[in-house]
């Protein structure tokens, strides 16, 4: 993947370390983020008119500009809460079927009004989903996740965080630990011109979210960071290093990326090897969103060709 990033020293809160990432890579033409589209009233999510099914929803963009929705965004309501399996750009004036996974195992009934959750799915759930989607695509089966594994992971969050839910809803976990999340990350904001963040928990690098524009990271920052923080609750401590963050990013940038048709505009670059799994949504010669997660051991030193700038920054 032709992307050059500068990784700088982290903001550390408890066991959570957030490494800022910067880049001069080109940005895509203008699009609306999910929060902007929802505020403008041009975004609507619903079940399929032909008959609701668990792994698919329909997104309507009634505006003129494309709308970006992210892998890991949680859509609450309808017959059950779901999370998006991939990032996508919804063209203006279209209805688009999108692949999702259920994060509310105990409800399937009368449809409720649907909206975006203000919180992203936790990093470990996203890792599990992304790895399964990459394998599904490799087999030519589309962007399907392992639904049973998703339900198991949500149940584990409920047990680990003391957050029981009558319907097995991930959103209820957030309601239970909201005060802890706000204490941990509530005051954090991205730096000027920051386009991405590398996440480490307990000294281990877990993943990266990177965008073509600093404004996109800013729009999604609160939800993403709360999702990161869920995995940091009740996690043993450890020291994350910038060398570890650089090694992870280099592993992502030098991994084989297989082009696939995107859901919506652009194309997806599917990243999968023994160490990382992820995808990059490309549109108009720009990487709009790169999301990747550690799935195995990362070498201590960056691989050649990772284009990592060793600049330092401290807060």
Q: What is this structure's pTM?
A: 0.92
Please write the tens of the pLDDT for every residue from 23-43.
Answer: 999 999 999 999 999 999 999
Judge whether 214 lies within some domain. Answer: yes
Please state, in angstroms and as integers, the Cα–Cα distance from residue 38 to each residue in 27, 63, 115, 242, 303, following that order.
Answer: 22, 11, 8, 36, 41
Q: In the structure, what pLDDT confidence band is assigned to residue 1 with cuts at 50, 70 and 90? A: low
Q: Which domain holds residue 70?
A: 5-309
How does the average pLDDT of the chain come out, rounded? 90
Judge whether 129 lies within some domain. Answer: yes
Judge whether 51 lies within some domain. Answer: yes
The total number of structural domains in the chain stands at 1
Please write the tens of the pLDDT for every residue from 248-281.
Answer: 999 999 998 999 999 999 999 999 888 999 999 9
Judge whether 314 lies within some domain. Answer: no
* Range list of H helices, the chain: 34-40, 123-138, 147-160, 170-185, 214-232, 242-254
Judge whether 42 lies within some domain. Answer: yes
Judge whether 315 lies within some domain. Answer: no
């Amino acid at each position: 993947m032709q992307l050059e990033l500068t990784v700088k020293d982290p903001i550390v809160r408890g066991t959570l370390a957030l490494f800022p990432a910067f880049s001069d890579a080109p940005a895509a033409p203008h699009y609306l983020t999910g929060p902007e589209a929802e505020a403008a009233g041009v975004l609507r999510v619903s079940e399929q008119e032909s008959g609701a099914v668990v792994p698919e929803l329909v997104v309507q963009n009634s505006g003129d500009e494309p709308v970006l929705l992210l892998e890991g965004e949680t859509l609450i309501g309808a017959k059950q809460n779901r999370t998006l399996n991939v990032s996508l750009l919804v063209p203006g004036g279209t209805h688009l079927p999108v692949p999702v996974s259920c994060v509310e195992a105990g409800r399937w009934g009368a449809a409720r009004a649907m909206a975006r959750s203000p919180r992203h799915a936790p990093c470990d759930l996203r890792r599990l989903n992304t790895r399964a989607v990459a394998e599904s695509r490799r087999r030519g089966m589309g962007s399907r996740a392992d639904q049973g594994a998703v339900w198991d992971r949500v149940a584990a969050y409920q047990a680990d965080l003391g957050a029981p839910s009558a319907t097995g809803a991930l959103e209820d976990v957030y309601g239970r630990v909201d005060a802890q999340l706000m204490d941990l990350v509530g005051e954090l904001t991205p730096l000027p011109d920051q386009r991405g963040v590398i996440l480490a928990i307990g000294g281990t690098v877990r993943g990266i979210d990177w965008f073509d524009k600093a404004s996109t990271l800013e729009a999604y920052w609160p939800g993403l960071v709360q999702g990161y923080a869920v995995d940091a609750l009740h996690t043993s401590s450890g020291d994350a290093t910038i060398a570890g963050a650089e090694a992870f990013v280099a592993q992502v940038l030098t991994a084989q990326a297989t082009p696939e048709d995107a859901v919506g505009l652009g194309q997806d670059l599917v990243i999968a090897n023994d160490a990382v799994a992820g995808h990059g949504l490309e549109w108009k010669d720009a990487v709009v969103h790169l999301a990747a997660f550690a799935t195995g051991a990362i070498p201590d030193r960056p691989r050649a060709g990772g284009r990592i700038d060793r600049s330092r920054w401290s807060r």
